[in-house]
């Protein structure tokens, strides 16, 4: 893997000494992505499944006709989405779906509504990275189709995204029928 983590750390240190805090923050998100990439390649890459992700990193449950997938990390921005980061998130999504599946059949919707709520840790740089449209939303949507709905076109699904501040980063995905969603918002 050709990632120079030391260079990124040196760049962060330089920006901090120059008091260019926004630039240092942007570089720190790059560093996070690089570290996840290295860890993922080392522990999980090329068929190596000796290591496991932490048990609480992803949860899934079915309650009636609503599926809730919870990933204990904020959905990355598109700028952070390296190939390793994408593989890592695919694994998290699949773990959450597997946990929702345990002991029951997953609902399948003719037309689904997908609600994505992303909690970002306080003091993150909202102006630089936190536009909802800049999040890697397609990473989630594309990995739900076929399992919960046929396709991600307007005939088979709709979605909404909301962000909020919190102490810990987290992404919660709720999948339900579009009709159920319309009932919920009309009340």
Query: In 3D, which of 116, 15, 20, 136 has the Cα closest to residue 68?
Result: 116
**One domain for residues 46 and 69:** no
Residues in the chain: 187
CATH number where 125 lies: 3.30.1330
**One domain for residues 38 and 63:** no
**One domain for residues 41 and 113:** no
**One domain for residues 39 and 63:** no
**One domain for residues 129 and 178:** yes
pLDDT digits (tens, 9 = 90+) for 88-113: 899 899 999 999 998 788 999 999 99
Asked if 186 contacts 179 with a C-beta cutoff of 8 angstroms, the reply is no
Instruction: Report residue 133 as tokens.
Output: 């449209």
The pTM assigned to this predicted structure is 0.75
**One domain for residues 128 and 88:** yes
Instruction: Report residue 33 as tokens.
Output: 């992505």
DSSP secondary structure code for residue 156 in this structure: T
**One domain for residues 48 and 67:** no
**One domain for residues 125 and 156:** yes
pLDDT digits (tens, 9 = 90+) for 116-160: 999 887 765 544 556 777 889 999 999 999 999 999 999 999 999
Q: Which domain holds residue 19?
A: 1-52
Instruction: Report residue 144 as tokens.
Output: 């739900």
């Amino acid at each position: 893997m050709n990632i120079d983590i030391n260079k990124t750390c040196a760049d962060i240190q330089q920006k901090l000494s120059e008091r260019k805090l926004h630039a240092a923050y942007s570089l720190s998100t790059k560093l996070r992505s690089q570290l996840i990439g290295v860890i993922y390649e080392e522990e999980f890459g090329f068929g190596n499944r000796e290591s496991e992700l932490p048990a609480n990193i992803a949860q899934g449950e079915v309650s009636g006709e609503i599926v809730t997938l919870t990933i204990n990390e904020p959905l990355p921005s598109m700028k952070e989405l390296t190939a390793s980061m994408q593989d890592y998130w695919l694994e998290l999504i699949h773990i959450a779906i597997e946990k929702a599946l345990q002991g029951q059949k997953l609902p399948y919707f003719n037309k689904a509504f997908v609600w994505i709520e992303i909690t970002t840790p306080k003091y993150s740089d909202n102006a630089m990275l936190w536009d909802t449209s800049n999040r890697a939303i397609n990473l989630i949507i594309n990995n739900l189709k076929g399992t919960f709905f046929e396709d991600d076109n307007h005939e088979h699904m709709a979605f909404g995204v909301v962000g909020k501040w919190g102490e810990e980063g987290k992404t919660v995905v709720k999948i339900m029928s579009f009709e159920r969603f319309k009932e919920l918002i009309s009340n």
